[in-house]
Amino acid sequence: MKSLRDVDLAAACVLLRCELNVAMKDHHVTDYTRIEASRPTFDVLRENGCRIVICSHMGRPWGERDPAKSLRQLIEPIKTVLDTDVQFVDDCIGTERDEAVLALKEGEVLLLENVRYHAEENSNDRDFGKALVRGVDLYVNDAFGNCHRPHASMVAAALAAPERCAGLLLEREIAELSLLNDPEFRPTLAIIGGAKVSGKDGKLFVVKNLLRTVDRVAVVGKLAYYFLLAQGVGVGATLTADTRGIDAPGASLGDDLAACRDVIAEAEGLGKPLLLPRDSVVSVNDADTLVDFASAAVPAEGRALDIGPGTVEELSDAIDASNLVVWNGPAGYFEKPAYQEGTFGIAKTLTSFSGHAVVGGGDTVAAIASVLDGGSDAVHICTGGGAMLTWLMGEPLPGIAALETVLSGTV
Ligand code: ADP
Ligand code: MG
């Protein structure tokens, strides 16, 4: 895959695919992280006099022109954060867009309307991909968070452009996740939590794959209680009570438990037993109690909503014994302050340990933002949730694969 250093940038006309699917409230951006994250690549392009055409999706309008999902709302935030003038066209393809691209002068910036206003984005339509890069010399992918989706602005557009490369953000994300395969960073520890258990981005499969690549896997969050139940530990109503309804629709508990038993057997076969919660904060009839699994189980009506202090301590020791920690998924129902100690405990240990950490997951990052304060050299905050999970499952990411494709002749 080429990087910005391998391509001719001088005054090039560039389609810059960013991940600007920012959080909004009442038409105002509430979190600027994703715009900020685009800055390093943007600055390099601007220093080289590139004509920059920014393209992104926002939300899930799936072919409808939903004004609430218009990138027009990002004109002012981009102007402020990237310190630039911004032109805008209200369609990402077509005559008006083509003319605006042609008219761009060196260093000028054009923002295109939401690519998901066209259903062809979702179907990775080849002609739509071509139209997205019409008049462009170079396609730059800096949208790591969308690389797991085989969409036209990620794949078809990359393949149709005369030249393609990774932006600095994408390059950094790949480098961080690749540390998992770097012998210098062993021993490695993965901490997987949260509530997406089965389904296509099910963390069960993440745990399964990581067993092969890391030295130790710890399982926390709601996910952990599936493993405990599969081992015969009573978890009461933990799995039946639905906090947010984000478990995969149609997932069967029986299938999930069978999958857990397979993963447990595989872990033992590999000599890497899973690290599971030894204690938990359990809510029983709206009162919280601490349950130690060595001597007790979760009562029938109880819900285990966070890992307990014994587990936090065991995890801290495991973190300190590692050179690399990869963490995805909160340790508890952190939206309620009573159940955030486990998640915060992990985050606090990461801020003081001497190794390197890569942390990702939409909810995980939101939960620990205050503790990790935007990340550091020692703790990298990954900009992609689903993309990170796809990587950790060991599956190819179509957006990255498109950049790696060596094209012969014209497409
Ligand atoms: P991420 O977005 O970081 O990938 P997930 O989406 O998988 O994480 O899971 C986040 C959700 O998991 C949060 O809403 C959190 O409340 C929930 N969660 C974590 N542990 C528990 C638990 N023990 N019981 C109920 N919900 C939990
Ligand atoms: Mg989530």
Q: What is the mean pLDDT of residues 381-388?
A: 94
Distances from the Cα of 26 to the Cαs of 35, 46, 73, 274, 403, in angstroms? Answer: 18, 31, 10, 44, 36
* DSSP output for 2-30: -BGGGS--TT-EEEEE------EETTEES
Distances from the Cα of 188 to the Cαs of 209, 233, 244, 273, 352, in angstroms? Answer: 14, 27, 31, 14, 17
Identify the bridge partners of residue 360 per DSSP, sorted by sequence position: 328
What rounded mean pLDDT belongs to the chain?
A: 93
Alpha helices, DSSP H, located in 179-308? 203-213, 221-230, 253-269
Closest CA to 198 of 187, 207, 189, 190: 207
Percentage of the chain with pLDDT > 90? 85
Q: Does ligand 1 lie within 6 Å of residue 61's CB atom?
A: no
Nearest CA owner, ligand 1 atom 7: 194
Q: Does ligand 1 lie within 6 Å of residue 385's CB atom?
A: yes
Closest CA to 191 of 353, 17, 347, 394: 347
pLDDT of residue 243: 47
Percentage of the chain with pLDDT > 70? 96
Q: Which tokens go with 235?
A: 């978890």
- The neighbourhood of ligand 2, an ion, using CB within 5 A, equals 362-363
Its pTM stands at: 0.94
pLDDT of residue 250: 55
Q: Which atom of ligand 1 is nearest to the CA of 224?
A: 23
Closest CA to 334 of 366, 291, 360: 366
Backbone φ and ψ for 183, nearest 5 degrees, come out as: -60, -25
Position 206 confidence tier, pLDDT thresholds 50, 70, 90: very high
Q: Does ligand 1 lie within 6 Å of residue 129's CB atom?
A: no
Q: Does ligand 1 lie within 6 Å of residue 244's CB atom?
A: yes
Q: Interhelix angle for 75-82 vs 39-47, to 10°?
A: 70
Q: What is the mean pLDDT of residues 296-304?
A: 96
Position 135: which residue type?
A: G
Contact 272, 254 (CB under 8 A): no
Residue 267 has pLDDT above 60, yes or no: yes
Q: Does ligand 1 lie within 6 Å of residue 335's CB atom?
A: yes
Q: Which tokens go with 266?
A: 């595989």
In this structure, the chain runs to a length of 411
Closest CA to 17 of 184, 157, 190, 217: 157
Task: Give the Cβ contact number of residue 164 at 10 Å.
Answer: 24
